[in-house]
Each structure stands twice: as C-alpha cells, then as structure tokens.
Amino acid sequence: MADAALFEFLHMEMVAELWAHHSDPGPGGTPLLTLLRQIFSREHRTSLYAVLGQKMSLSVLEGMGFRVGQALGERLPQETLAFREELDVLKFLCKDLWVAVFHKQMDSLRTNHQGTYVLQDNSFPLLIRMASGPQYLEEAPKFLAFTCGLLRGTLSTLGIKSLVTASVASLPTCKFQVVIQKT
C-alpha cells in the first residue's frame, strides 16, 4: 500500500529532524541544561549534551509513538479486544497489529511466562532501507524508538502497563523486549 511508503518516509524524516533538534539544544534548552551549562566546562559539556541529547531525542520519539499507539488501540474493533490472557494480547500485537502497521507478522515471540516477552522481527520495515549488517548499528536505536512507543501505547489502551525497549544485533533484524509492569 502506498500509504505505507508515506509513513516510512515520514518516520525517516522525523528521526532525522527531531534527532537534530533535540541532540543539540543550542543556547536555549531546559532549566537542567542551563544549570549544566553553568557547572561544566565546554569540553565536558559537549559529551554530556551528546548523551543527554540522545536520551531526550529517543524519549521524544518514543513519546510520539506512545500517543499514536494509544490512538490506534482505541480504533481496534471491540471483538478483538476480548483477551483472556496476557499472552493472547502479545500474540495479537505480533500478528494483527504488526500486519496492520507493517504488513507482515512478527517473526518470533518468546516469553519467560513471568511478564517478559521478546518479539523478534527478522526484517523490520523501518530498518530495511538501511544497509544490512553491522555498519549502522549505532544509528539503529533512533529508528526503533517510535515503534517501542507504539507498542507501549497500544498495550496501554488494552489495559497493560509495560516497558518496551529494542535491541539490534544485525540489521534488519531487531528484537523488542516488553516487560509487563505489575501495579
């Protein structure tokens, strides 16, 4: 579907643009950054900014994904939401949600049956456009943050609080780790 291409290009541009903006706060920035600017010397600041900036960018992207995931969750038909078990919800994410959003199913789902699930996609569409293998490993987290949020947001609408992180060993394969938060 052509819409998929539009989303993929938008996502790529969002990563580039939001990354650039949030990784390098410039003269402005939050009170925390202003304080740090006052305390640390220039050379220490640069690497600190880099780390903080990266964390901020990832959380901005993740936050956007979360909002979109919540909204998508609200649009799901009611009958699909009658899940009996937590595992059914995760299976739903791996099959139905992944197909609806990425036109393919998740390739594997593993769990320790104690609230941790690992979802593996061997050819994740948002990583496909980057060369396979280890060259862009450093860049990969930026391209996964939005999707982590998406999963977390959809789970939230389905009544499940979770923490979702992603890891990449070799593009385009990636793993999403979902840890259910018990309240």
Partner 1 sequence: MSRPAHRRPEYHKINKDLFVLTYGALVAQLCKDYEKDEDVNKYLDKMGYGIGTRLVEDFLARSCVRRCHSYSEITDIIAQVAFKMYLGITPSVTCNNPSRTEFSLILDKNPLVEFVEELPAGRSSLCYCNLLCGIIRGALEMVHLAADVTFLQDTLKGDRVTEIGITFLKKLDEKKYRRKK
71 is written with which tokens? Answer: 């909204």
Q: Work out whether 24 is an interface residue with partner 1 (CB under 8 A).
A: no
Beta strands of 60-161 (E only): which ranges? 108-111, 116-121
Give least dist CB 82 to partner 1, A: 14
Query: 148-181 burial by CB neighbour count: b if 16+ within 10 A, else e?
Result: bbbbbbbbebbebebebebebeebbbbbbbbebe
Strand order in the sheet with 116-121: 108-111, 116-121, 173-180, 162-170
CA–CA dist 102, 147 (Å, integer):
11
How many chain residues interact with partner 1 (CB under 8 A)?
38
Q: Work out whether 99 is an interface residue with partner 1 (CB under 8 A).
A: yes
Q: Work out whether 76 is an interface residue with partner 1 (CB under 8 A).
A: yes
**Which listed range, 1-9, 34-42, 120-128, 133-141, lies at the site for partner 1 (CB under 8 A)?**
1-9
**Which listed range, 6-14, 31-39, 47-55, 165-173, lies at the site for partner 1 (CB under 8 A)?**
6-14
Give least dist CB 42 to partner 1, A: 25
| Residue ranges that bind partner 1, judged by CB under 8 A | 1-7, 9-14, 16-18, 21, 60, 63-65, 67-68, 71-72, 75-77, 80, 95-97, 99-101, 103, 105, 146
